[in-house]
Homo-oligomer: A and B are copies of this chain.
Amino acid sequence: MNVPTATVSRLIVYLRVLDSLASAGKSRTSSEYLGNEAQVSPFQVRKDLAYFGRFGTRGIGYDVAELGQRIRTILGLGRSWNTCIVGLGRLGQALVDYPGFGPQKEFHLVALFDTDSAKIGKCFGGLAVRHNWELPQAVAELNIQLGMIAVPASSAQEVATALVQAGIRGILNFAPAVIEVPLHVFVEKTDVSAALERLTFYLSAAQADRRPAP
Contacts and interface: CB of A to CB of B under 8 A. Distances in A.
A206 B194 CA distance: 27
B77 A12 contact: no
Interface in A19-69: none
Contact of A197 (B4, B12, B195, B214): B12
The complex is assembled from copies of this chain, and their number is 2
A133 interface: no
A204 B171 CA distance: 14
Given A81-B200, A200-B106, A210-B3, A193 B100 contact: yes
Contact of A12 (B75, B83, B198): B198
A199 interface: yes
Given A4-B213, A90-B93, A100-B192, A200 B9 contact: no
B1 A201 contact: no
Query: Which A-B residue pairs are the 5 nearest by beta carbons?
Result: A76-B204, A76-B200, A2-B213, A90-B94, A91-B94
Interface of A: 1-6, 8-9, 11-12, 15-16, 74-77, 81, 83, 89-91, 93-95, 97-100, 106-107, 145-146, 153, 169-172, 176, 178, 184, 186, 188-190, 192-206, 208-214
